[in-house]
Amino acid sequence: MAKSSFEYVKTFELSDTLLPNTWIVVRLDGKCFHKFSEDHNFTKPNDVRALKLMNYAAFTVFREFNDLLMAFGQSDEYSFVFKKHCTVYKRRAAKLVSTITSKFSASYVFYWSKFFGEEQLKYPPSFDGRIVLYPSEENLIDYMKWRQADVHINNLYNTTFWTLVKEGKLSPAQAEKRLCGTVSGDKNEILFKEFNINYNDEPEIFKRGTLLLKKHINMNESYKCVSVIVDVHDDMLKEKFWTYHKDLLFMKSKQNFIYDGPITEIISEQLQEKYISKSDINNSL
Amino acid sequence: MAKSSFEYVKTFELSDTLLPNTWIVVRLDGKCFHKFSEDHNFTKPNDVRALKLMNYAAFTVFREFNDLLMAFGQSDEYSFVFKKHCTVYKRRAAKLVSTITSKFSASYVFYWSKFFGEEQLKYPPSFDGRIVLYPSEENLIDYMKWRQADVHINNLYNTTFWTLVKEGKLSPAQAEKRLCGTVSGDKNEILFKEFNINYNDEPEIFKRGTLLLKKHINMNESYKCVSVIVDVHDDMLKEKFWTYHKDLLFMKSKQNFIYDGPITEIISEQLQEKYISKSDINNSL
Amino acid sequence: MAKSSFEYVKTFELSDTLLPNTWIVVRLDGKCFHKFSEDHNFTKPNDVRALKLMNYAAFTVFREFNDLLMAFGQSDEYSFVFKKHCTVYKRRAAKLVSTITSKFSASYVFYWSKFFGEEQLKYPPSFDGRIVLYPSEENLIDYMKWRQADVHINNLYNTTFWTLVKEGKLSPAQAEKRLCGTVSGDKNEILFKEFNINYNDEPEIFKRGTLLLKKHINMNESYKCVSVIVDVHDDMLKEKFWTYHKDLLFMKSKQNFIYDGPITEIISEQLQEKYISKSDINNSL
Amino acid sequence: MAKSSFEYVKTFELSDTLLPNTWIVVRLDGKCFHKFSEDHNFTKPNDVRALKLMNYAAFTVFREFNDLLMAFGQSDEYSFVFKKHCTVYKRRAAKLVSTITSKFSASYVFYWSKFFGEEQLKYPPSFDGRIVLYPSEENLIDYMKWRQADVHINNLYNTTFWTLVKEGKLSPAQAEKRLCGTVSGDKNEILFKEFNINYNDEPEIFKRGTLLLKKHINMNESYKCVSVIVDVHDDMLKEKFWTYHKDLLFMKSKQNFIYDGPITEIISEQLQEKYISKSDINNSL
């Protein structure tokens, strides 16, 4: 069994190392999720269960990679941002993109019932992945803004469209025609004047997508602060987000952002893992 | 919401098109499967449930891509071979490797209980993927032989090692020492003389791994032949495999290999999908 | 002078290894040669001096690389074909394309006066280079045919255009208009009927470009055969060229094509280098 | 002549676009210049004619590319730095590296006699090229420092080595042995104590290499300032160089560095080109 005589085929595997000192963004997109969402009775225009499952799958990815700075998700897509000096898997492109996509996909299936309860998963979904490098802070911030602006645009459209269909009793084709050529202001006005819906009151998770970040939580006096991954819906299109988080992109060791927002399920779970046997956990929350 | 002012960031996504007219091999490997197999009580040296789950996950990938010629799996790895003229996803590397890995991983979790029954999946596993191109038939055949020779070498070693441990009551360290420096003949002899085990009688799936191929099955007279994906354990190290399948690598439209082997679960399932309401399905099997 | 503290910058140089077992084609193109040819009074539509200089520059490249199978040139472009198993410069793309282009460009200037005599070179020209890989014999042959078909199409057009201008006294704009929409047959007819020119009688170097190949010449009886680079104008669009040269693309060691064509300047020069002091050189030619 | 049936071969040429917003460095190295320098009687350890020819060839490249920020040369190598936002040739790697190398090589031959006078060029030399991307100012500055530290280390060694050989009458092997294990201080001491040579007094061009930059020269009152490429030997290892030139790397339009150094041949030539017919040119110099 002269295995060695075949081993030359290994030399056909070429290097795909990514340029050092650039932020690595891995973005995943659901494949055929239009059909998948119909097959699984997703609520329109947004299904909270589905968004929470996306966030939770992203969270399972996030906790495995120390070099992740943040992740941002909306609809059926998620972006993961690795720090510039990241050397995980020697920065090999295929290894990175496939591992992230694999972990995310396996988690999506594994945690399905945690969020969908009785709604059965009918078949395994899949996601594709891509890698983009950003050499400057400005480029990376613009990337994040681009994805978040996309949430806003899509969600305003979808919210108006489905309101016209569900409450306005238009057919999808009529709703589409009605919205053709409208700008943001027009859609806000339709919602407000015709349906008494103030778009600003829509849930943040719908309007802004979800951002995962590493932050610290101050526990009660007897404990040090605890590092957790938080799921927030901050407005990255505002400069003050970037001013406040100005060290975020350059984290070399531990950053020290203090979190004082609500204790979400994702955060609560991490706190419990760390303090499960300690009596004060419930107090602190 | 000037989305357009951020869209320039799309230009940072560079082309990763694969060279045309070369066979594309996507190989997946389980991440930390040593630990995963212990956490899930895999039988040593081979766990039939785990191998069948791998094969089934590969089968779900295979049926989604018309351009797949074959797939070969062993242990926690699987290779997928696309035909030379394949243009799926415009031959974009990241898209291909991530989609295949995603589908495989999601299926692995989705079908876990089909093969593992009561054994609970404790956490989602992950796989990494890579892409290698082969420009000639000879190179590709040598790749397949390389992977299958690897099965043989590993399985003979593992079979002997675990026999020494389980039946020979050696410690793992003693077994390792005993096997140090031995060649195939030595291991065969240990198995035969000391434990009365004829290695040749070991199951083919252990000794040779599993090959997925598209073949045709002749149903009884009233039906045409049916195209199915078959899971076989053929010996690709023998030239006669390649002589018999000589058109396999050059398939342009439908190839016409007739299958007359056993009706495995994977095959049976496909036949039932196609003939579920027909009375003669049972006869023909 | 802590040089070592800066050396990390070397890690930014990424691998650009070309896929093994594929034919490497390096093609050079003159930059701004329309202007260059006017600045140096090139004869229209073809300047024999310029073509011979291109061939000679290509010849100086060819003799430096054992792994070159052939080279083909026309107008201001030249293609160099390396054998499939070539490992020169470890198949690094940038190194290959830049070295070939450099040698060619330096030779073009160095040998200018050998072909242009009194016509002074006014400034150094430049060429760009590119690399394309071909995985199959068919693809490579089609590449060669593509470039030679291009010679034919361009030369028939240019010959007719300049005949209309120079002998037909049309302005360039009139000539262009006259040729608009014509096919090959029309141009042949214009040349023949209006100017009594049989296009077939045009020099082969104009109609077919120049091919460089390694062949053997049988010297007179007392000498073995001699390996030389020959410059020929064979018709690669005809299958018989490829039938006759069927081992050319697969040369592993020395091929054995016997040359019995005319002793060109390029060939003569090589023979003289090898036999300069031997009396029989003149006889054999 | 169905050219179109062969044109599919164009699709085998894959994209090699370089990541946007990164500094592009193209570095050339002479091939076999040890032999070339011996064949052409280069003075050891430095040949001013050869260095000036390198600089002049680099200058001819520099003036052709608006997007070049600087170039740095020493011995038989030259680095060209393109600005981050450069889009020349759509940032195609092979096109960039080959064109630069071609222009440099052709110029080296074309201008040989301008610097070498009676010393005949015996054969055309060649250079190889490579491309490296730097995403941050710090990385790029470290690259420049790395190359200049290299000049210092090599030149101190070579100066001491050749002094030991030429004046100390050691054989090359003896000189090599003598220098084995010495640090900079040791070599300075050998030069000073044994040969009364103060290394600091060596010409800047030898100790520091040559830097090409775009600067402005203030002509006499009646004229505006003139943009020229200057050849200087500044110490880039000192921070003050980078403090002074802090906008150099970020040039978007015209930068405004005023040059008040000596009028070198390269500078003088540019001034003459611009003012050839004007009487005051001589005054201003």
How high is the pLDDT of residue C284?
44
Domains in chain B: boundaries: 18-135, 144-206, 209-284
How high is the pLDDT of residue D258?
87
State the CATH architecture for B18-135.
2-Layer Sandwich (3.30)
How close, in Å, is residue C128 to chain D by CA atoms? 5
- Over 90: is that where the pLDDT of B11 sits? yes
How high is the pLDDT of residue A283?
40
Whether D19 and B12 lie within 8 Å, measured CB to CB: yes
Strands B127-134 and B210-218 come out as: unpaired
**Could you count the other beta carbons within 10 Å of the beta carbon of residue C2?**
9
Q: Could you read off the pLDDT of A209-235 as tens digits, one per residue? A: 999 999 988 876 556 678 899 999 999
Which of A14, A17, A19 is closest, CB to CB, to C19?
Answer: A14
Contacts of D19 in chain A (CB under 8 A): 19, 22, 133, 135
How high is the pLDDT of residue B179?
96
Q: Could you read off the pLDDT of C75-107 as tens digits, one per residue? A: 999 999 999 999 999 999 999 999 999 999 999
- Best of D16, D18, D19 to disrupt the A interface (most A CBs within 10 Å) is D19
How high is the pLDDT of residue B246?
83
Q: Is residue A27 very low, low, confident or very high in pLDDT (cuts 50, 70, 90)?
A: very high
State the CATH architecture for A16-135.
2-Layer Sandwich (3.30)
Check: CB of residue C216 under 8 Å from CB of residue C228. yes
Highest mean pLDDT, choosing among B254-268, C242-256, D118-132: D118-132
- Over 60: is that where the pLDDT of A18 sits? yes
Least confident of A243-252, D36-45, D78-87, D229-238: A243-252
How high is the pLDDT of residue C222?
56
| ipTM for this model | 0.93
Mean pLDDT over all residues of chain A?
A: 92
Chain A: touching chains (3 or more CB pairs < 8 Å):
B, C, D
Interchain CB contacts (distance < 8 Å): A and B: 171
Chain B: touching chains (3 or more CB pairs < 8 Å):
A, C, D
- Over 80: is that where the pLDDT of C3 sits? no
Looking at per-residue confidence, does A283 or D191 come out higher?
Answer: D191
How high is the pLDDT of residue D249?
86
How close, in Å, is residue B139 to chain C by CA atoms? 9
| Strand, coil or helix: D202 | coil
Which of D9, D95, D106 is closest, CB to CB, to C106?
Answer: D106
Q: Is residue D273 very low, low, confident or very high in pLDDT (cuts 50, 70, 90)?
A: confident
Whether C19 and A15 lie within 8 Å, measured CB to CB: no
How far apart CA C149 and CA D6 sit, in angstroms, is: 9
How close, in Å, is residue D21 to chain B by CA atoms? 9
Q: Could you read off the pLDDT of D13-64 as tens digits, one per residue? A: 999 999 999 999 999 999 999 999 999 999 999 999 999 999 999 999 999 9
How high is the pLDDT of residue C257?
84
How close, in Å, is residue B94 to chain C by CA atoms? 18
Looking at per-residue confidence, does B185 or D256 come out higher?
Answer: B185
Question: Which DSSP string corresponds to C111-130?
Answer: THHHHHTTS---S---EEEE
Instruction: Taking residues B59-74, report their average pLDDT.
Output: 96
Specify the length of chain C in residues: 285
How close, in Å, is residue D77 to chain A by CA atoms? 24
Instruction: Taking residues B69-96, report their average pLDDT.
Output: 97
Q: What percent of chain D has pLDDT over 70?
A: 92
Contacts of B21 in chain C (CB under 8 A): 135-136, 139
- Domain C19-135 -> CATH class: alpha beta
Q: What percent of chain D has pLDDT over 90?
A: 84
Whether D15 and B11 lie within 8 Å, measured CB to CB: no
How close, in Å, is residue A147 to chain B by CA atoms? 9
Q: Could you read off the pLDDT of B114-171 as tens digits, one per residue? A: 999 999 999 999 999 999 999 999 999 999 999 999 999 999 999 999 999 999 999 9
Which of C101, C129, C146 is closest, CB to CB, to D9?
Answer: C146
Q: Could you read off the pLDDT of B222-245 as tens digits, one per residue? A: 566 788 999 999 999 999 999 999
Whether B19 and D11 lie within 8 Å, measured CB to CB: no
- Over 60: is that where the pLDDT of B35 sits? yes
- Over 70: is that where the pLDDT of B182 sits? yes
Q: Could you read off the pLDDT of D121-142 as tens digits, one per residue? A: 999 999 999 999 999 999 999 9
Q: Could you read off the pLDDT of C251-273 as tens digits, one per residue? A: 654 557 889 899 999 999 999 88
Whether A133 and D19 lie within 8 Å, measured CB to CB: yes
CA torsion, ordered D133, D138, D142, D143, to nearest 10 deg = 20
Q: Is residue A246 very low, low, confident or very high in pLDDT (cuts 50, 70, 90)?
A: confident
Q: What is the DSSP letter of C188?
A: H
Q: Give the angle C252-C254-C260 at the CA atoms, nearest 5°.
A: 135
Give residue D129's Cα distance to chain centre. 13
**Type of residue found at C103:** K
- Over 70: is that where the pLDDT of D221 sits? no
How close, in Å, is residue D21 to chain A by CA atoms? 7
Contacts of A242 in chain B (CB under 8 A): none
- Over 90: is that where the pLDDT of D194 sits? yes
- Over 50: is that where the pLDDT of A151 sits? yes
Residue D249, Cβ density class (10 Å: 0-12 exposed, 13-18 middle, ≥19 buried): buried
Looking at per-residue confidence, does D217 or A58 come out higher?
Answer: A58
| A144, closest residue in chain B (CA to CA) | B6
How far apart CA A253 and CA B174 sit, in angstroms, is: 44
Interchain CB contacts (distance < 8 Å): B and C: 21
Contacts of D21 in chain A (CB under 8 A): 135-136, 139
Q: Could you read off the pLDDT of C171-229 as tens digits, one per residue? A: 999 999 999 999 999 999 999 999 999 999 999 999 999 999 999 888 765 566 788 99
Whether A102 and B103 lie within 8 Å, measured CB to CB: no
Whether C105 and D110 lie within 8 Å, measured CB to CB: no
Q: What percent of chain B has pLDDT over 70?
A: 92
- Over 90: is that where the pLDDT of B249 sits? no
Q: What percent of chain A has pLDDT over 70?
A: 92
Whether A21 and D133 lie within 8 Å, measured CB to CB: no
